[in-house]
Amino acid sequence: MSASLTFAWRALLKIKHVPEQLADAIMIPVLFTVMFTYLFGGAMVGSTREYLQFLLPGTMVFAVLLITVYAGVNLKTDITTGVVDRFRSMPIWRPALIVGGLISDAGRNLLAAGLVLALGLVMGFRPEGGVVGVLLAVALVLAFAFGLSWVWATLGLVLRTPSAISAVSFLVQFPLTFASNVFVDPQTMPGWLRTFVEANPVSLLVDAARGLMQGTAEPTQIGGVLLAAVLLVAIFGPLTMRLYRTRT
C-alpha cells in the first residue's frame, strides 16, 4: 500500500507539472452537461430544467467512463519512455505502479463527477434521492469506472502506442455511450435499437445512477452494476498483472 500510494502521488505530481492532463476531466463534463441541456432540452421534453433531471446522471456516467482510458494511456507512456524498466529494477512491489495509477485515476474520475454535479445544481438539478442518493450514485459510478480502468490497463500492455489506446477508446466508448439511455429515453427508439440500448452496460449503469438520485433505485439494478465491476476486476486484474510481468 505504501508503494502504491507513492506512485499515486507521483501521478498527481505529473498533473501538477502538466495540468493539461486534466483538460478532459474538466471540459467533457462542462461541455456535455451545458451543451446538451440547452441545445436539446426544449426539443426533447419542452423544458431544459425538466430535461436536466433526466440528463445529469447520464452525463456524469458519460464523463467518468470516457476518461477511464487514462489508465492505459499513462501506463503505456511510462513503458515507451523506459521509466518502467527503472522501476522494475527497484526493490518494490511490482504491481504498485499500476495500482497507484488507478488510485490517482479515481481522483480524476471523482473530479469529473463532482463538476457535473456542481454544474447541475447551479443549472437547477434537484435530486429527489437527496444527498445520500447522490453520494451512492457517485460511489457506484466510481466503482464501475475502477473495474473498467483495468480493461484499459490491459490494453496499455497490449497495444503499441498511447495514441492507439486513445483510438480504440474512441471507437468503443463513443458508440456505447451514445447508443444508450444517457441522452434519450429508449422508449422513443425503433425496436431493434431499443433492444440493443436496454442491454448496453452503459444503460444499466445510468439506470442505477438515475434511480439512486431520484430515490427509485432497485436492488437488482445496483447489484448488477456492482457484479459487473467485480467481474471486470476479477478478469482483467490478474490478466494485467501477468502481462505486466511478461511484457515489460
Residue type, 62: F
> For 157, what's the count of Cα atoms within 13 Å in the CB-facing half-sphere?
21
Residue 68's alpha-carbon distances to 144, 146, 186, 213, in angstroms, are 10, 8, 25, 22
Q: Indicate whether 42 pLDDT > 90.
A: no
Q: Indicate whether 135 pLDDT > 90.
A: yes
pLDDT band at residue 25 using 50, 70 and 90 as cut-offs: confident
What pLDDT, on a 0 to 100 scale, did the predictor assign at position 243? 92
Residue type, 154: T
C-alpha to C-alpha distance for 95 and 77, rounded to whole angstroms: 16
C-alpha to C-alpha distance for 144 and 150, rounded to whole angstroms: 10
Percent of the chain with pLDDT over 90: 60
- Helices (H), ranges, the chain: 2-17, 23-45, 48-67, 70-81, 83-88, 96-123, 130-158, 162-178, 191-199, 201-214, 219-247
Percent of the chain with pLDDT over 70: 99
pLDDT digits (tens, 9 = 90+) for 195-232: 999 899 999 999 999 999 999 989 999 999 999 999 99
Q: For 128-156, what is the mean pLDDT?
A: 95
Q: Indicate whether 30 pLDDT > 90.
A: no
C-alpha to C-alpha distance for 99 and 95, rounded to whole angstroms: 6
Q: Indicate whether 190 pLDDT > 80.
A: yes
Average pLDDT, the chain: 90
Q: For 56-75, what is the mean pLDDT?
A: 92
pLDDT digits (tens, 9 = 90+) for 92-111: 888 899 999 999 999 989 99
Q: For 162-173, what is the mean pLDDT?
A: 92
Question: Closest Cα partner for 33 from 14, 10, 12, 58?
Answer: 58
What pLDDT, on a 0 to 100 scale, did the predictor assign at position 248? 60
Q: pTM score > 0.85 for this model?
A: yes
C-alpha to C-alpha distance for 41 and 209, rounded to whole angstroms: 20
Q: For 76-99, what is the mean pLDDT?
A: 88
What pLDDT, on a 0 to 100 scale, did the predictor assign at position 40? 80
What pLDDT, on a 0 to 100 scale, did the predictor assign at position 221? 92
